[in-house]
A and B are shown apart, each in its own frame.
Chain A
């Protein structure tokens, strides 16, 4: 029976230890409850560490015209108005306090001349808004939370992966996981569970995400009865490295453009001036000179078109490449070296402002970004969709199950603005921790269903049984993962069409069958083949959710671009696409009308147009 698995009992179990998970754990433990924190890797290695540009918070340190209203309007405009407006409102209002709190916990942000936290320009943000530390802001965030959190009495389970959420009736009451080191199953009982597992990038071939981002949180929550929302909105970051092949997809921060970097095609043309969407025209520079002045802090200048939203920039790059105007390796050029025409000591300036970009290109591509342009192309970066939550409490439709950060849906709508992710983590990580602790206090522990535990453990070990039977002839998990990534990239990528997505659905069905037959060899101790086999199910679930949602949305909006429906549709603009699991295991897709904005917020949006 299940009783011989090691069992841990917590009030709040947080799954995922990036910015959102750590912030949730800190808040829950501060509320006086017992907290367990599960991380798939070692503590402090989560994807938050990769975030470069900064965290958006309308502190107004650099431009005092900034305030929460502008930030709210920018976020809604960037998200093309399908955001959960309550989350956008809370985010804009609470981000400054969350950033100041980090400083109280030891974070060391770059400074303004008068000693305040410095803020930089970023795509889609009207004023300089991103608190940052060079181009390693994510590291600063995660390390600050980690170093604060380790003194809070949080029990950290490093290198553990959850295979299923455990339920007592409707309610989530814990999780079953395994440790990588020994492959032993462990039961985590909890009054409330916070999903902070991040994204789904590994469903695609070209991605900035690491091996961990296999949609675990979305998939586990879905299996537990939670609704997923906005899954069609995947962000393809416009600037990923494309050469050499081994670094394809690796992120090149938007801060390069924020500091004056420009995009050019192979003819040397700054193509971004060719296509500026109407709703951004009033706030976009009319010529390169004005764009340059904006990046250098001229408050009267408007931003260069390179700093339009990520979805738009990615599509423009795609268009240049398809039209045969791309760079030698199938991307375009991102040039920061040109600023030497404008600044004395430009090389030093670039190294100081973008140290890790300088480092990354020098070491991985043998290229000096202070002298030569970079070759870049779009890379799968982020999913705006995820677990559908209440905007205030972050609880899903499943009692006791909360979500925060990338795993949750709502804040970003159809497209996330750069810099709004790190602030998302701390604003909603805090809220999820707070409300999860409250829920746990009010409801206490639930009952663990041993049959559910046994069944999940048995299924998790099936790949070994098949390996033992097949004796080396069966398919391993890597080929299935690879084929899924290839397929999603080509059929459900930046540009989508109904017929291609129908083929993708068909492909997902076939891949699911193969995934159900993969075999694993060796033993359970630190066996990456086994881990990949278990992750496959999650990848397939989120891939299906993305594809079905993308078919449902018959328009183009934000990160979702349909070649067969290239324009926005007013009716589709009033709904979110929601999926949940039917009782027969199939995926239910439905449209959910977005609640009306309160008059006050409507007015804010009007004022900021």
Chain B
């Protein structure tokens, strides 16, 4: 049993301040346990989101000592406790209250991405055939738990506030999962290039570093999408070929 001080952001969209709470921490506790303990004993109205407590739902995203992480998957024994642990909401989104933020922008962005559009079924019974090797890549992207930590850390959103021009790493991964889905027939490249602003990403890989699902966001999703956009719009030979090839 150790005594730890938590320095937690208390406030809302109008502003706020850090408040210190001191509490005991026992073996195996994660940051979310400490928050719950403070909530139950010292601050009943401390607002935070959580659900599964197992790193599967992506609700308890916050910034722990300045790093975007899931509170439920951050063990106390991985943090220095000789100084206060700072805990604040994700900073790329407007604060609702205390540790909660208004992430509704993400849900709106998703509705603008063209939905899955499969080819005709492969078998007479209306089913498809796909090889495991062909779906491995997409399954990696579909591990995403929508915690939005990648959005939070992305400087295009966090520092430059390009929310109207750039969809962020989460939705580039989402688009990659659709574009690389073996059954999908849709073309999302024109939007990626224009309204969705894939060009804003300058592959600093911060998103990959914070992903709790260890999705290789930059290398496996964003860069291949960038390459597809380049092939489609900026490759002069490709352009010529598309002009000249016989139409089918």
What residues of chain A have their CB less than 8 Å away from a CB belonging to chain B?
A: 41-47, 49-50, 100, 103-106, 108, 110-111, 114-118, 133-134, 136, 139-140, 143, 147-148, 150-151, 156, 158, 181, 210-212, 243-247, 250-251, 356, 359-360, 363-365, 476-478, 482, 520-523, 525-530
Contacts and interface: CB of A to CB of B under 8 A. Distances in A.
A250 B28 CA distance: 13
A111 B132 contact: yes
Given A108-B138, A115-B129, A360 B54 contact: yes
Contacts of B143: 136, 139
Nearest to B72: A364
B100 A148 contact: no
Interface residues of B, number: 59
Interface of B: 12, 26-30, 33, 39-40, 44-59, 73, 75, 96-98, 100, 102-104, 107, 110-111, 115-116, 118, 121, 126-132, 135, 138-139, 142-146, 178, 181, 184
B131 A115 contact: yes
A526 B52 contact: no
Given A151-B115, A363-B73, A41 B51 contact: yes
Nearest to B12: A525
24 contacts: A41-B51, A49-B52, A50-B57, A106-B181, A110-B135, A111-B135, A115-B130, A133-B142, A139-B142, A150-B107, A150-B111, A156-B107, A210-B50, A244-B27, A245-B28, A246-B26, A246-B33, A363-B73, A364-B28, A525-B96, A525-B97, A526-B97, A529-B44, A530-B45
Contact of B75 (A150, A364, A482): A364
B28 A522 contact: no
B170 to A, nearest CB: 12
Contact of B28 (A41, A117, A247, A529): A247
B130 A140 contact: no
- Give the dominant DSSP class at B's interface: loop
Contact of B44 (A116, A247, A520): A520
A42 B142 contact: no
Given A50-B57, A365-B28, A478-B40, 13 more contacts: A42-B49, A44-B146, A45-B58, A46-B51, A49-B145, A50-B54, A50-B56, A106-B181, A106-B184, A111-B135, A364-B75, A476-B44, A528-B48
A136 B104 contact: no
A103 B184 CA distance: 11
B151 to A, nearest CB: 14
- Please indicate which of the listed interface residues A106, A148, A365 has the most CB atoms of chain B within 10 Å of its own CB: A106
A356 B73 CA distance: 12
Contacts of B110: 147, 150
A134 B142 CA distance: 11
A103 B138 CA distance: 13
A111 B75 CA distance: 35
A526 B96 contact: yes
Contacts of B145: 49, 139
B55 A359 contact: yes
Contacts of A106: 115-116, 118, 178, 181, 184
A225 to B, nearest CB: 31
A65 B194 CA distance: 52
A360 B55 contact: yes
Contacts of B96: 181, 525-526
Nearest to A51: B56
A83 B145 CA distance: 35
